[in-house]
Amino acid sequence: MLELHEVAKHYPGGVTALAGVTVRVDEGELVGIVGPSGSGKSTMLNLAGTLDRPSSGTVRVAGHDVAGLADRELSALRATRIGFVFQQFHLAPAMNALDNVADGLLYTGTPRRHRRRRAAEALEHVGLGHRIRHRPHELSGGERQRVAIARAVVGGPGLLLADEPTGNLDTASGAAVVGLLRQLHADGATVVVITHDRELAAALPRQIAMRDGRVHTDSAVPR
């Protein structure tokens, strides 16, 4: 599903965010990424999600070498195969939950009517069928994150990438969000989640620990 080979990412000013990362995530895995702030977790997730291109090395998503795709093809790959969830939810404040989720289908060529219907189903699926007309400010943090997850998965992306999805939530809401990620994984999605929460990470089937832009340990790879 996801393959990074010797991936490096440098930023202007001599910053090395990733210093050669080789990781493979198979279809159907549930993986936690841990490590100190600045260790390259978000950079790795953004590269895996094709939001950014590596300075060197190869990134393959669902069999496609990202380097061989034009920007337009990358957008199509993202729209159909990859769902993103971020710590800050990134919902449009003026739109209700239904339209926020329907937006997740904007670049898939789904007609508007069908977008709304599928959005309603996705919200139902995350337990928010009774909140579809609410705008983000009328929802709790946990509910907002569930809307964001519904938007991420409404297109049936197969790969779900989550960057600190519980970082802004209280313990109970965070647990609900983690439960939801587990449910999506059980339904067949491949899930990669960055987390600061050691307990959360320890409960996942596989953990990758980053340090200084490298994979420090990977529970799937014997040392």
Strands 64-65 and 56-61: antiparallel
Least distance (Å) between residue 46 CB and ligand ADP: 8
Q: Which of 11, 114, 170, 188 binds ligand ADP (CB under 6 A)?
A: 11
128: closest CA among 77, 136, 158, 33? 136
Least distance (Å) between residue 35 CB and ligand ADP: 6
3-state secondary structure of 202: helix
Q: Which of 23, 29, 31, 35 binds ligand ADP (CB under 6 A)?
A: 35
3-state secondary structure of 10: strand
The answer for residues whose C-beta is within 8 angstroms of residue 147's C-beta and 6 or more apart is 89, 91, 97, 100, 101, 123, 126, 128, 131, 136, 139
The Cα–Cα gap between 111 and 105 comes to 9
Q: Which of 20, 38, 57, 167 binds ligand ADP (CB under 6 A)?
A: 38
Q: Which of 23, 25, 32, 41 binds ligand ADP (CB under 6 A)?
A: 41
Tell me which stretch binds ligand ADP (CB under 6 A): 36-44, 60-68, 73-81, 114-122: 36-44
- Contact call for residue 195 and ligand ADP (CB under 6 A): no
Binding stretches for ligand ADP (CB under 6 A): 11, 15, 17, 35, 37-43
